[in-house]
Amino acid sequence: MAGDKHKKKTKGKKAAKRSAAKQKKGLAAGTGGGGDGGEGGAAPATKQRNPKAFTVKSRGRAKLQRARTAEKEQKRMHVPVVERAPEEPPPFVVLVQGPPGVGKSTLIRCLVKHCTRQSLSEVKGPITVVAGKTRRLTFVECPQSLAGMVDAAKYVDLVLLLVDGAFGFEMETFEFLNILQVHGFSKVMGVLTHLDGFRDVKRLKKTKKALKHRFWAEIYQGAKLFYLSGMRNGKYLQREVLNLARFIAVQKFRPLSWRQAHPFLLADRFEDITPPERVRADPKCDREVTVYGYARGCNLKLGARMHLAGVGDYPVAEVSALPDPCPLPGAAKKRSLNERERLLYAPMSDVGGLLYDKDAVYIDVPDWKLSYSGGTAPADEGAAMVRGLQAPGAAVDAQLAAGRIRLFGNGRALDSAGVPDDAAASSDGEGFSSEEDGGAVGPSGREGDDSTSDDSEGLGGAARWKVGLQERAAALFSARGGDLAAHIYGVPATAEPQGQDAAALRGHVAKNKDGESDSDEELFVPRQRSSSGGAACDAEDPEAPDTVRDALDEAHLAGWGDPGAAERLRDRFVTGDWEAAAQRSAAEPAAEAGGDGDVFGEFEDVETGERFGSGDAATSAALAAMEAVSREELAAKRAAKKAAFDAEYDAGGSAGVRDRPAKARRHGADADQDADAAAEGPEAPGDEETYYDAMKREMGGREARTRAALDALAPEQRVAMEGHRPGAYLRLRFSGMPCELSAHWDPAQPLLVGGLAPAEEKRGFMQLRLKRHRWFSRVLKNRDPLTFSIGWRRFQSVPVYAIEDQNARHRMLKYTPEHAHCLANVYGALAPPGTGVLAIQSLAANQQGWRIAATGAVLGLDPAPAVVKKLKLVGTPFKIAHRTAFVGGMFTSQLEAAKFEGAAVRTVSGIRGTIKKALRPSVGGGRDGSVRVTFEDKPLLSDIVFLRAWVSVELPRLYNPLTDLLAPAPVPRPAPKRTSGLAEDGEGFAALPAPADAPGGWVGMRTVAQLRRAAGEGAPRQADSLYRPVERRPRRFNPLKIPTALQAALPFKSKPKQEAPRKRKSLEARRAVVLEPGERRAVSLVAQLNALRNARADKRRAKQACQREKHARVVEAEEAWRARYNKEERKKRYLEAGQAEKRAKRAKASRSDD
């Protein structure tokens, strides 16, 4: 098997190569060391001989290396999670996903055939098989719809991603990977099919490599990609399927946080159990439905609501655990499964022929197998038995009624009529908690207790409680846990509508017993003077005062003042006997698991007061024998468990979910010592135990303790405490389901039933951190409906996008940012912060391009998120007095203006101001709603005054669950083959407008763009908002004129210094320059050199011009040719199009003629 130890080759090419390499290495070491270097131990020998050569050479590098090692060590660590893997986990879900026609059903058929040696005719719904001694698998074919893909990502453990090798990756594949990432990344294995089409080996190799690298880029470097090279007889090659099955068999699974916190099941069977008569009377009546499947995720607690993906939230009317239809083989040691253990369970695919229900087993006998052999005698005993079953003489209930059962060896036989009703009543699902108040508790067995102590009184039964013998003793104690539990949980806290009368009745009885008066007087006498006055200590009293403190009896308390009373407590103090205290603290309750104590202990007949039990010699002997047998069984079990544990311990544990009990999972009484062992640590904590290790060890110890405590409980009580464990095969009954669910039920669409935490049932606003997907072609518009997938649910809602400003203000956005996260406020069913979010605009299959609009996470829950948008109020000053101005047009009334007193305003030119006062109408000739504003500088009449304000945005409350299972299946339309191409970047996808949704299927709210398109309208445009060319006349400024008198008075610094134009040249310009002979020579040399350079440049320029001309001629000729060619091409294309159109018209005409 794959788990075997790797054996090194001792023969063949590889072995020869290895030995050669080894020899070479040994030789080198030998020569280098200069001695007789051994073959394998050369390096250590050298190291020992010459330790100085192996010390660190560079301190700096050694330091870096140490740091790197430490960093790697830290990176390896994750926050440890408590491993709550069940003893027998549910079958792992293997989802086969891929585009249509890639070979999904074929692969499932091949794998099922490999595992069970059975051929499947059709692949419908989940198919569970026993794949190995410790592993069961459920194969599911991923539906093509996007909603189905989203659901699949939530329940899958391992994805087989099928890719058509001949075609390459398709968009669905990438979409599905993205969906997986959002909902916790399950394991993914790629499978390449359709490779037999390649004729060219080199091309095949290249394609494989290219696809592999693209796949790695998407998952991780080195992700497993399988190649199915061809088919034989319509099946993949046996060897390749075997390899694939082996890889699946050794796969380890990481627990995902959402699934660790929520129970769920994948329905592998679905029945509509509505009475047919009711359906006949009203075909649209609400249905009663049962759903079967393995419990997965965390424990399924009783009384939880479940979300049926694609249907809605419904309370579970009934949960019952059924025997496992596809159990793992027994624990006996053997190498492989025998034929009888290779089970297959696929109720939706019509195989197996055996169905287990809660109270019946159905055997499906196909017609073609049925042949009655008439009156001939049956050949063997088995045939005779089956014949007997086929022809029962009397009805089963009649037979049962006639049957007699002997309970005890020497007792009389009981017939069915003699069985008391209580037995039937107590066998319902609720167990002890459903027992009637006080009914379970007899007034017996506690007389002794009462007499021994009077301080803490025994008040086990509710009946006793009510009689009020111990009103004052605010304490409750019973030696028997059953009594106490029945007393506590016998009365529910809630008042059920039908229970109200009963409660009222109880109240009446109690009051009458108190002997207040008869009913006539009661009409006029208030029941209680005041509720808070009397210190009624009754736990059932609905009006009991709400305090944690019981009023203690003064006289009783004073008893502690008696001499010697306090001395009784001496052992509870450090001054007392430490031995006694240690005994007390070590005392454990006697093992009394649920009803077991009642079975074995002595008991008393409630009615007769007769005592049974240890006194009777025969009974006690029988009891002892039974106990001995059970003890032996327990010991055997324990030994087997211990052996299994030891074996696994030696093999070494590993992280992740394991199939079989690991070291942290144990049964029975040996769990305690195992817990201690776990507390000591799996790796025998050496000298240095890190914080991380300590944390993990503590978690393991806690988990072991929990398991041990639960294992000690009776099954019903265990279910009451922790719910149904994952791995149990459950039957959930739902009532009041919409009839469409049954009407449109399609077994190929897997049904996910997810459990909800109480807080997730509420509706409210969620704040999401959202980012538009890079490959989605459009930005998302504010208030355009999106379909979200959060937690189990998928629903349509209307998001309002926002971004957080510097001051924590959430400013509304009209569109999602191009390449950044933004906030989205969404109304819907709440999910806890941290849950992944997926947003889809349109679920239709017939659209080209990427369908996932955005991804993100839930940030927080807020009943009323404050999202604001900017509002600019505009006004104009109509009267200005120095720095104060009257501004009008900003508000409509004085009242409105008064609200803005003190607000900051600003003019376009940047002058800041404050609103001082709202003006009375017609003050200063202004309109109503004018205000007095003071500015920091004098504004102009032509200025515009702005007031920047923020208005809160009302958030829409739309919650439209995506009930696609209640809608008829969409009519498939030819979907365009949506390739992603290998080299193509995401941005390269064609952004075609999505056509309208396919007919049928679920129809959601449409986006504004879709509505406009349907109505044939464009976006509304206001003439006012259009951009027009700005006309700006040049401003003319008059010359600055300063009066001469003022000029004269100015200091020289401030005087305008405008010089009059000169009439003569300046002195510098007029002077003559006479050069020295040397200078003259230099000047002339420079002039000559310049002349030379200029001449060369002229020549070059002329040559370039000539070349340019030549090139232009070539280009012109080519252009002319191209134009001619294009014209011809176009002509050809138009001709063809015209002919095609004509043909189509003709075909249409002929069809209409028919």
Partner 1 sequence: MLRFRGSQHLRQRLVCATLSGRLIRIDGIRERDESPGLRDYEANLLRLIEKLTNGCVVEINETGTSLRYKPGFVTGGSGLVHDCGTSRGIGYYLEVLVCLGLFGKKPLAITLRGVTNDALDPSVDVWRSATLPLVRQLAGMESGLALKVLRRGARPDGGGEVHLTVPLAARLPPVSMADEGMVKRIRGVAYSMRVSPQASNRLVDGARGVLNALLADVYVFTDHMAGAEAGSSPGYGLALVAETTAGRLLSAEAVSPAQLQGHEEAAMPEAVGRSAAHALLEEISRGGVVDSEHQGLVLLFCAMGPVELSEVRLGPLTPHAVRTLRHLKAFFGVTFNVRPEAASRTIFLSCIGTGLRNASKRLT
Q: Which of residues 806-835 bind partner 1 (CB under 8 A)?
A: 830, 832-834
Using CB under 8 A, which residues numbered 79 to 108 contact partner 1?
Answer: 82, 84
Applying CB under 8 A, the span of 47-55, 71-79, 707-715, 1034-1042 interacting with partner 1 comes to 707-715
CA gap 63, 610 in Å, rounded: 84
Q: How far is the CB of 725 from partner 1 (least distance, A)?
A: 11
In contact, 461 and 487? CB cutoff 8 Å: yes
Residue 679 found at the interface with partner 1 (CB under 8 A): no
Residue 550 found at the interface with partner 1 (CB under 8 A): yes
Binding mask 710-729 for partner 1 (x = CB under 8 A): x--x---x--xxxx------
Residue 469 found at the interface with partner 1 (CB under 8 A): no
CA gap 459, 481 in Å, rounded: 12
Q: How far is the CB of 537 from partner 1 (least distance, A)?
A: 5
The residue behind tokens 């607690």 is: 301
In contact, 138 and 266? CB cutoff 8 Å: yes
Applying CB under 8 A, the span of 180-188, 263-271, 757-765, 931-939 interacting with partner 1 comes to 757-765
From residue 673, give the alpha-carbon distance in Å to each of 406, 440, 679, 703. Answer: 41, 36, 10, 14
Instruction: Write the single-letter amino acid at 476.
Output: L
Using CB under 8 A, which residues numbered 1109 to 1128 contact partner 1?
Answer: none
Q: How far is the CB of 730 from partner 1 (least distance, A)?
A: 16
CA gap 810, 860 in Å, rounded: 14
Instruction: Write the single-letter amino acid at 1129.
Output: E
Here the contacts of 681-690 (C-beta below 8 Å, separation 24 or greater) are 682/653
Binding mask 930-969 for partner 1 (x = CB under 8 A): ----------------------------------------
Using CB under 8 A, which residues numbered 333 to 362 contact partner 1?
Answer: none
In contact, 760 and 831? CB cutoff 8 Å: yes
Residue 379 found at the interface with partner 1 (CB under 8 A): no
Tokens representing residue 563 in the block: 């001499």
Q: Using CB under 8 A, which of 45, 256, 321, 709 touches partner 1?
A: 709
CA gap 675, 94 in Å, rounded: 34
CA gap 796, 838 in Å, rounded: 11
Residue 1012 found at the interface with partner 1 (CB under 8 A): no
Q: How far is the CB of 838 from partner 1 (least distance, A)?
A: 17
From residue 1067, give the alpha-carbon distance in Å to each of 7, 1064, 1070, 1071. Answer: 107, 9, 5, 6
Q: Using CB under 8 A, which of 322, 476, 739, 923 touches partner 1?
A: 476
Using CB under 8 A, which residues numbered 260 to 299 contact partner 1?
Answer: 261, 298-299
Applying CB under 8 A, the span of 148-156, 270-278, 775-783, 861-869 interacting with partner 1 comes to 861-869
Binding mask 766-785 for partner 1 (x = CB under 8 A): -x-x----------------
Geometric angle at alpha carbon 968, from 966 and 972, rounded to 5°:
135
Q: How far is the CB of 739 from partner 1 (least distance, A)?
A: 26
Applying CB under 8 A, the span of 8-16, 53-61, 116-124, 476-484 interacting with partner 1 comes to 476-484
CA gap 737, 1108 in Å, rounded: 83
Closer by beta carbon to partner 1, 507 or else 976: 507
Closer by beta carbon to partner 1, 489 or else 959: 489
Q: How far is the CB of 493 from partner 1 (least distance, A)?
A: 4
Closer by beta carbon to partner 1, 652 or else 758: 758
Closer by beta carbon to partner 1, 317 or else 401: 317
Closer by beta carbon to partner 1, 20 or else 495: 495
CA gap 753, 740 in Å, rounded: 17
Residue 313 found at the interface with partner 1 (CB under 8 A): no
Establish how many alpha carbons lie within 13 A of residue 543's alpha carbon, considering only the half-sphere containing its beta carbon.
11
Q: How, if at all, do strands 136-141 and 92-97 pair?
A: parallel
- For residue 895, what are the β-bridge partners? none
Using CB under 8 A, which residues numbered 427 to 456 contact partner 1?
Answer: 433, 453, 455-456
Using CB under 8 A, which residues numbered 554 to 593 contact partner 1?
Answer: 554, 556-558, 560-561, 565-576, 578, 581, 584-585, 587-590, 592
Residue 184 found at the interface with partner 1 (CB under 8 A): no
Closer by beta carbon to partner 1, 497 or else 1051: 497
From residue 34, give the alpha-carbon distance in Å to each of 40, 215, 469, 819. Answer: 16, 51, 100, 65
Ranges assigned E (strand) in 99-147 = 127-130, 136-141
Q: How far is the CB of 588 from partner 1 (least distance, A)?
A: 7
Closer by beta carbon to partner 1, 453 or else 512: 453
Q: Using CB under 8 A, which of 168, 681, 764, 889 touches partner 1?
A: 764
Helical segments of 965-1029, H only: 1008-1015
Tokens representing residue 333 in the block: 């040691």
Closer by beta carbon to partner 1, 299 or else 847: 299
Would you give the end-to-end CA distance of the chain in angstroms?
67
Which H or E run contains 501? helix 499-513
Q: How far is the CB of 573 from partner 1 (least distance, A)?
A: 5
Residue 602 found at the interface with partner 1 (CB under 8 A): no
Closer by beta carbon to partner 1, 15 or else 580: 580
Residue 705 found at the interface with partner 1 (CB under 8 A): yes
Largest CA distance in the chain: 154
In contact, 81 and 144? CB cutoff 8 Å: no
Closer by beta carbon to partner 1, 114 or else 697: 697
Closer by beta carbon to partner 1, 569 or else 1003: 569
Q: Which of 183, 178, 174 is nearest to 153 (CA)?
A: 183
964 burial type by CB count under 10 A (0-12 exposed, 13-18 middle, 19+ buried): buried
Using CB under 8 A, which residues numbered 517 to 546 contact partner 1?
Answer: 526-532, 537-539, 541-546
Applying CB under 8 A, the span of 353-361, 857-865, 943-951, 1003-1011 interacting with partner 1 comes to 857-865
DSSP state of 966: G
Indicate the SS3 state at residue 193: strand
Using CB under 8 A, which residues numbered 484 to 503 contact partner 1?
Answer: 484-485, 487-489, 491-497, 500, 503
Using CB under 8 A, which residues numbered 31 to 70 contact partner 1?
Answer: none
Residue 758 found at the interface with partner 1 (CB under 8 A): yes
Q: How far is the CB of 503 from partner 1 (least distance, A)?
A: 6
The residue behind tokens 């919650």 is: 959
Closer by beta carbon to partner 1, 567 or else 1098: 567
Q: How far is the CB of 358 from partner 1 (least distance, A)?
A: 23
- Ramachandran angles phi, psi of 809, nearest 5°: -85, 140
Closer by beta carbon to partner 1, 100 or else 559: 559
Instruction: Write the single-letter amino acid at 1074.
Output: V
CA gap 575, 407 in Å, rounded: 56
For partner 1, how many residues bind (rule: CB under 8 A)?
115
595 burial type by CB count under 10 A (0-12 exposed, 13-18 middle, 19+ buried): middle
In contact, 467 and 510? CB cutoff 8 Å: no
Q: How far is the CB of 857 from partner 1 (least distance, A)?
A: 7
The residue behind tokens 């669950």 is: 961
Closer by beta carbon to partner 1, 488 or else 1087: 488
Q: How far is the CB of 518 from partner 1 (least distance, A)?
A: 17
Applying CB under 8 A, the span of 656-664, 741-749, 753-761, 928-936 interacting with partner 1 comes to 753-761
